[in-house]
Amino acid sequence: MFIRRGGDFASFFLQITKNLRYISMKIIGTSGTKTIKVIPREYVDGQITVKLTNEITKKVVTINPTAETDHNYMSFTAEFGTLRKDTFYIMDIYLYNTTTQIYKDKVFCTNQTIDQSTNNYYSINKDQYVTVDYDNDIILL
């Protein structure tokens, strides 16, 4: 239903938006084996090329894991070696031995445990702030 106001139409319908907090980048640990699920432009069951580029130093780590289709995702297990803690990387996934890019994302590397379902988010000040207990006694000299 519309109301006419000065030549313009106004709707009775109200659009309600809800802000949801969602981490859209991949978050991985600094070492060990990682299983990563992505939604690529092209699905591959077989070998792929994954490049992680450090955003600061531009150092590139390249691996060739085997990918498999897992319902609507392509998943692969990878070991990147030792990555720098609290550092951003760009992850590029290519078809094996080609320059055809099928996925690109940002990766953040941390040792903190992060779980959105339990509201356990990353904190830059984790284990840094220490409270000091003291009383408010005033000493007059």
Contact 64, 48 (CB under 8 A): yes
Q: Which residue has the tokens 């090329």?
A: 49
75, 79, 83, 85: CA torsion to nearest 10: 60
Residue 30: both structure tokens together: 């600094």
Q: Is residue 34 part of a domain?
A: yes
pTM, two decimals, is: 0.66
The amino acid at 126 = K
- Any idea how long the chain is? 141
* 35 three-class SS: strand
For 22-77, the pLDDT digits (tens) are 446 777 777 788 888 999 999 999 999 999 999 999 999 999 999 999 888 999 99
Q: Is residue 54 part of a domain?
A: yes
For 109-127, the pLDDT digits (tens) are 887 766 666 766 666 666 6
109, burial (CB in 10 Å: exposed 0-12, middle 13-18, buried 19+): buried
Q: Is residue 130 part of a domain?
A: no
- What range does the domain containing 101 cover? 29-111
Q: What is the CATH number of the domain that holds 54?
A: 2.60.40.380
Which pLDDT score, from 0 to 100, does residue 53 have? Answer: 94
Give me the number of domains the chain comprises. 1
